[in-house]
Amino acid sequence: MDVFTAIEQRRSIRKYKDKPVEEEKLQKVLEAARLSPSARNEQNWKFVVVKDADTREKLTEAIGQPFVREAPIILVCCGTEPNAIMRGGQPRYTVDLSIATAYMMLAAYEQGLGTCWLGSYDEKAVKKVLGIPEKVRVVSITPLGYPNESPAPRPRKSIDEIVSYDKF
């Protein structure tokens, strides 16, 4: 599968099969994050892999989205240097972790796995469940598992609506 096919066909999955993810597939997803670019190549991130059933249940409660408990793995993507700001004004951790999360989601799709980007959660509660230090920021969370649904594509704006040349 080429990258564009994965970009075109990947969907947010909210229903998962009761089937474990093979360790080789998980490692490939994590390797995609490791290889993703980061500002100044500092790689100021930490990825928490949650497999334990009790911890997944507590984390699902902290996230507040019940479908997450169906997935055999929950990936929590954290920025370890939240005060670093890029010259353009953006916090490095949000950009770096967004790229890494997207890479993981594409690598997961390539292997027949499903994900769903979660940006809505109670960060304090998530940190408490996982013992994440106060200064570390949770940027994104995604369940990871075998899809038990095949959602239709969502509507997308046309290129003309989102692209301009030379001026805004």
Give me the residues paired with residue 77 across strands: 47, 140
Residue 167 within any structural domain of the chain = no
8 belongs to a structural domain: yes
> Which mean pLDDT values do the consecutive 10-residue runs of the chain (168 residues) have?
95 98 98 97 97 98 97 98 93 97 98 97 98 97 98 96 97
Q: Does residue 51 form part of some domain?
A: yes
Let me know if residue 61 belongs to a domain.
Answer: yes
- The CATH number that applies at residue 132 is 3.40.109.10
CB contact at 8 A, 47 and 141: no
Q: Is residue 165 part of a domain?
A: no
Which residues contact residue 15 at a Cβ distance below 8 angstroms, ignoring those fewer than 6 apart? 67, 70, 147, 148, 149
User: Is residue 163 included in any domain, yes or no?
Assistant: no
31 neighbors 98 (Cβ within 8 angstroms):
no
pTM of the predicted model, to two decimals? 0.96
Q: What is the CA radius of gyration of the chain?
A: 17
In this prediction, residue 29 carries a pLDDT of: 98
Query: What confidence score (pLDDT) does residue 82 get?
Result: 87
Q: How far is CA 85 from CA 42, 57, 115, in A?
A: 13, 34, 29
Find the domain containing 63 and state its range: 3-148
